[in-house]
A and B are shown apart, each in its own frame.
Chain A
Amino acid sequence: MIPYIGCEYAREHLDAFVDGELSVDEQVAVESHLRWCRTCGARVEDVQAIGDSIRFGSLAPRAIDDEARIVSDLHSSVLIRVRAEEELSLGSRFREMFTDMRLLWPALGATAAVTICLVAALSVLQLATLERPESLATMLDTLANPGAERNPLMPGNNGRVDRLTGKYVDSDFAGGISLPRASDNQEMFEGIPEQDAMFAVATVVSREGRIDKYELLKSERTGQRTERERLVHANDVEMVLDAVRQSRFAPAQTPLGRTVAVNMVWLIFMTTVETPAPHTVRAPAATVAPVTRVPPVESIEEAPLKRSDRIEASTTA
């Protein structure tokens, strides 16, 4: 029994029908459709006419006859070139690889794309390691480098006793880490108004001797009853912090001489020392040789009643 097919199905298979590419069943079905469908029949005739026109106008028969002599010599010229090619240099062979540009450009494009992806992936990994302080890689790096700015140490004896073995674990930290020493004269503090005050600043002194981080822990000043006095104090705090930022130290060192970053709490006191009253100054006994360094009483009296001085102390946190 021949299955019925509609025009839509038939038209999808007309080209294959003309080309003889259908299975037997499909061929029979399309043929039966063409017996009654003039529209599809006309399409088949058009396809066949197109094929006939192409074959009719083919250049090959005429041209090949014209070129018969040339074509017959083709193999000899090819063989000559083949023979010559066997003696080609390596450079010539390399250039031949690029004759088929259809494959070269996609290959180059794919290579470039893969390279860009690799570079991007490595950059992301690198950035993630360096830029994200909470990343595991950064944490491991920090723990692996005690004494770095991210993992500052505490001055003092850092030797420890291993809990498992009970033995003293020696390291280049054992024996104490020196305190950073001020390498300038702290002249930047000279500009702070002379008034009783105390500032406590937590700092991290880097391996280069600079203040890497700082935080004002506490600041006190006598007075501050009026708004103006509070403003003056706020200004003084800024000056102190600015001075702290500019401070330079000889960096802390382990006993083995390795410079390390350390935590330091910097206490800055500004106190008022009152000179003793004139009546309390006792003249040296006559039997004691005069002390030349002690100024005469007059000169002490002529001195100001108050003299501000700065006492700085450092401790560790």
Chain B
Amino acid sequence: MKNAGAVAWSEVDTQEAALIARCNTGDEGACADLVSIHQRMVYSLALHLLQDRDEALDLSQEVFLRVFRTLSSFRGQSALRTWIYRIVINQARNRQRWWRRRYRSSQVSLDDHLQQFGDVESKTEVLPDRQLASKETSARIWQALDRLPFDQRTALILREIDGLRYDEIAFSLGVAVGTVKSRLTRARQSLRAELLGLRT
């Protein structure tokens, strides 16, 4: 199941290269375009990794600042989108360490979050027979997901929500493809144990 948004670098090479070149010359319009194209993706990933809207928004700004600071060093070794994913993950990893140390006691569980913001309506394409997955099951899975190590959780989110390929996840995390496979397997094993616990 490939995500339609996960296009290869060669497909947008010309467009992205032109956009990057304009950004590097200080063209504010190009910078605004780049932010507009990727802001939802950046914010979404930051939100799923940090589970906090304010933190995610703040992180998104930091990510784009870093993107513009280091864009001149981007050599097209991956798609721009994957390169930005990598920055998001690194920033989120740093921030989460700091944030969890200080605000661990004030973290809000997903149940509370859902209670506060209402029911969740998925707009992603879910198979009809999978729509039976209850809200409670989803909440428990997300709780278990939040307890996973950062690298396993990130790999699974990139795969299941952002639909990245293994090689794109590997580049975003800065690891080998084999490591991505093992992290996904371990993460799913942990969540499967949670799922089996719900059924019994």
Binding site for B on A (CB under 8 A): 15-16, 18-21, 43, 46-64, 66-67, 70-71, 74-79, 81-83, 85, 96, 99-102
Contact = CB atoms under 8 A, between A and B. Distances in A.
Contacts of A61: 120-124
Given A50-B195, A100-B90, A58 B120 contact: yes
Nearest to B51: A59
Nearest to A50: B191
Given A52-B127, A67-B53, A57 B139 contact: yes
Nearest to B167: A21
A74 B64 CA distance: 9
Which 9 interchain pairs have the tightest Cβ spacing? A75-B35, A57-B138, A52-B130, A60-B44, A53-B141, A78-B64, A53-B138, A54-B160, A61-B123
Given A74-B61, A81-B65, 10 more contacts: A18-B1, A21-B166, A56-B138, A57-B135, A59-B47, A66-B53, A67-B43, A67-B57, A75-B36, A78-B35
B121 A60 contact: no
A55 B40 contact: no
Interface of B: 1-2, 28, 31-32, 35-36, 39-40, 43-44, 47-48, 51, 53, 57, 60-61, 64-65, 68-69, 90-91, 93-94, 110, 113, 117-118, 120-124, 126-127, 130-131, 133, 135, 137-139, 141-142, 145, 156-157, 159-161, 165-166, 181, 184-185, 188, 191-192, 195-196
Nearest to B34: A75
A11 to B, nearest CB: 9
15 contacts: A15-B185, A50-B160, A51-B160, A53-B137, A53-B138, A54-B160, A56-B120, A56-B133, A58-B161, A61-B120, A61-B121, A62-B118, A75-B35, A76-B32, A85-B65
